Structures are given as C-alpha cells and as structure tokens.
Homo-oligomer: A and B are copies of this chain.
C-alpha cells in the first residue's frame, strides 16, 4: 500500500492514512457509482478522486463509464483488509434526518411557485444550492428547537433562500440577510417586496467589521460557510458577533465531510469551545442535500473520467451543527484578519496541481 499512498501524496499533495484509505475501500465495497463512492466514504473529494485514480493505475480497478469495476486484485485487497460494505439503516421516511417535511408540503409548493415566478439571478443559479426539502428541514429544525417563533434571525449570505422558507412559516419576528453579492441582495429585496415578506436585506461583506446596528442584536444566526478553514472561522466569528449577550441564543451552520477532514472538524470544535461561552448541542449527520442541477463537471479536472459525468443521485451532503450560548456569552468584537484561503487542499474542486497551503 505504501506505494499507492506515496503516489497520492505526490499527485494530490494530500496525506492519506490507512484509516481514510479503508473508508474509501468500504465505499467501493458498497457501491460502484463514482459519486456514491464520494458520498459514502465521508472523505475529502480530492482524496477519493486521487485514490481511485491511483488504484486504477495500479490495476485494482477499471473505470467503466461513471462506475468502477474492481479487478480480481481489487477484490482480494478488500478481503485482505477485512472491508465490509456500509450498512444503511437510515429511515427512508425522513432520509435519516429525523425530521419529516410532509407537514410543510404546502409551504414547499409555495416556495417552488415563488421561485418559478422569480427565478434566481444567473450568477446564483450557477452555484450549488440545497434542495427545497432540505431548506425546509433546516427551518423545521430551527422551529423545533425554539429558535424561530418570535425570534430575530440573521442569515449570513442566503443563496439557498432559507429566508424565504422561514418567512413562509410566518413564525420569526424578523429575518435579516447579510449579503455581499449585489445581484443576490437586489434579488432578495425584490422577492421580499413582491411576496410582501418580512425579510430585510443588507449589503455587507463579511470581511468588513460588523456595522454597529447589527452587532449583538440577534437571537439566532444561520450560516453555510465555504470550508477553507479561515473562511469557515470568519463566518462563525461573524455569526457569534451578531448574537445578543447572555444565554439561550443559537447558531446553526453546515459542515461537510466532503470538503473538510475530521482534523478540520476537531480544530473548529476546539476553537469554538474555547473562543466564547458556548456549547455544541447537536451534530446531525447528512442533514442537508444539495441539487445536482447546477453541477459543472468541466470545473473538475479531467483525469478521473468517472467524475466527468453529471451526478444522477444526491451525493453532496452537509452535516448541521447547532450551538447554544451560555450565561457568560458576549458577542465577539475582535477584528479578524483574513488571508485568502477560499481554496485549500481539502476543497472540492479537483485539480492535480493545486497550490497547497498549510493551514491551522
């Protein structure tokens, strides 16, 4: 195995451990479809793609369209390493999330209707967005936890339109979206105006200090940060700067296994818990699914053919974290230094020679 591990390191600049390798093998034992292998392995995309490529080079598998075919050598390898396929006991009713969206069916219809009348601007259409079902599951989670009815909620960028979903529930007292994309901000303003919804939109770049009128003023924040470590922490620190002092405020954010390693999860957990008087109350595995509609295979480097075809199943999923503030919580006022790390070695876009930056 050492040879494959070295090849992966050389080619992708990523370290792979025995354990991560076995998780990828386990995904291969479970499904042959490339995108499902990424989904099941819970490893950074680049690591999975590079591993598959090196295993093809070494004769353990063949690429057949968008699937892999294990060779005899490949099957032997799985047997030698004691790899079992991944079981799936997740409830089909709620897709393993524990939250049943059927109660919100009418609202989802209304949501889709609104979007048909007023489609998102093109620059946003090209981004990945959550499925409407997943958006409403987020909303339900917030309602169930008591973080929606009568609350003032702030959303840090909102390409997914959670603001619209929350507004349709008519429960929050106030919904504020902070958005740096001018087109999106204009769009949200129109949407809110046309549908007469209580959504406030403010143009604001998270890299700038938080305007005084927003600082420490909210009960709840929601964010779906890019997962480069610095951008991730930037979003969370801004979120924590927006919450009122004292206990009972909540923050929600998404985090994947596909763009963030468990090492990054750990660093984030440590930093969050020591940064302020907060506690993590929930970490919900694969709570959110994303649309494949806008997926652009040409943004992925062409050397792993099975990822050149548009995915036909949901495969990119995020987990949801929920934080709660305790008595000594104070909104964070520290200035934040930003270096540009929106891309890093665990990020999605697959490229053979990404410039690798050290982080954390």
Contacts and interface: CB of A to CB of B under 8 A. Distances in A.
A101 B89 CA distance: 8
Interface stretch (A45-53, A203-211, A276-284): A276-284
A263 interface: yes
A247 interface: yes
Interface string A129-151: 00000000000100110100110
Interface residues of A, number: 55
A171 B97 CA distance: 25
B17 A84 contact: no
A82 B150 contact: yes
Nearest to A83: B150
A281 B269 contact: no
A270 interface: yes
Interface in A85-101: 86-94, 96-101
Contacts of A266: 273, 277-279, 326
A87 B144 contact: yes
Nearest to A173: B82
A85 to B, nearest CB: 9
A280 B280 contact: yes
A265 to B, nearest CB: 5
Contact of A19 (B140, B247, B262): B247
Given A146-B26, A270-B274, A280-B280, A89 B100 contact: yes
Contacts of A82: 150
A265 B285 contact: no
B86 A91 contact: no
B150 A84 contact: yes
Contact of A140 (B89, B93, B97, B98): B89
A20 to B, nearest CB: 8
Contacts of A140: 87, 89
Given A262-B326, A266-B279, A98 B87 contact: no
A309 B120 CA distance: 57
A23 interface: yes
A89 B99 contact: yes
A6 interface: no
Contacts of A263: 279, 326
A284 B281 CA distance: 9
Contacts of A274: 270
A82 B140 CA distance: 20
A262 B282 CA distance: 12
Contacts of A94: 91, 93-94, 98
A327 interface: yes
Nearest to A273: B270
A143 B282 contact: no
Contacts of A277: 266
Closest 8 CB pairs of A and B: A19-B248, A91-B94, A266-B279, A93-B93, A96-B98, A84-B149, A91-B100, A89-B140
Interface of A: 17-19, 22-23, 26, 82, 84, 86-94, 96-101, 103-104, 140, 143-144, 146, 149-150, 171, 246-248, 262-263, 265-266, 269-270, 273-274, 277-285, 324, 326-327
